[in-house]
Amino acid sequence: MQLALFDFDYTVTVCDTYSRFLRRIATPAQRARARWTMGPWVLAYRTGVVSPSDLRVRATRMAFTDRAEGEILDAGRRYADEVLPGVLRPEMMQRIEWHQAQGHEVALVSGSLDSYLRPWCARHGLGLICNRLESAEGRLTGRYAGGDRGGHKAADIRARYDLSRYERIHAYGDSREDRPMLALAHERWYRGRRIA
């Protein structure tokens, strides 16, 4: 039994799917407000002052507070159908298919959202560990259920999988947030290159 773990954004895809999803679902008022409220945070993230987790939490609060849960789930399904196929790396999809053909258990481990990752993973037969939006009475709170999981990938993997059951673990990632996940693996791939 073997396990293959894949980050999503910039590993399986050529871009950050989360920011594209936010732009897609943002209301006109949110777009106008984002220029002033999110612009400095994005700049701070690009210069390394703000962590990916801090940026995601702030953007999530702005985009999803008091939105109808059903509306965002519908938007996520459409995004998975219409947008994600065009941003996938063919070589990584082939790698996923290769692991599946070998009978390996394959899971996506991402700081992005289940709103669009869940239908995409269901279509491709993949397990999923990712951020989930918190809701109350059909409305989104603007927070993650259980907090942002991007920086907790290794802990979430250990909670979901009994790693001692697997004779070999493979992991694929591209960022600092992926390094603890890569450390769990026997075979590690970082930005398309095997490093162990």
Per-residue pLDDT of 115-137, as tens digits, reads 999 999 999 999 999 999 999 99
Confidence band (pLDDT; 50, 70, 90) for 29? confident
- Which is more confidently placed, 156 or 33? 156
- Cβ atoms of 12 and 90 closer than 8 Å: no
Q: What is the mean pLDDT of residues 170-192?
A: 96
User: Does the pLDDT of residue 104 top 90, yes or no?
Assistant: yes
Q: Hunting for tokens 């940026």 — which residue is that?
A: 55
Confidence category of residue 51, pLDDT binned at 50, 70, 90:
confident
pTM confidence score:
0.92
- Residue 32 is predicted with a pLDDT of 83
Task: Give 38 or 68, the one with higher predicted confidence.
Answer: 68
User: Would the pLDDT of 172 be above 80?
Assistant: yes
Q: Using CA atoms, how far apart are residues 111 and 131, in angstroms rounded to an integer?
A: 6
pLDDT of residue 5: 98
pLDDT of residue 36: 78
Is 2's pLDDT higher than 80? Answer: yes
What's the pLDDT score for residue 186?
Answer: 97
If you average pLDDT over every residue of the chain, what do you get? 94
If we measure between CA atoms, which residue out of 98, 132, 99, 105 comes closest to residue 118?
A: 132
CA 58 centroid distance within chain: 16
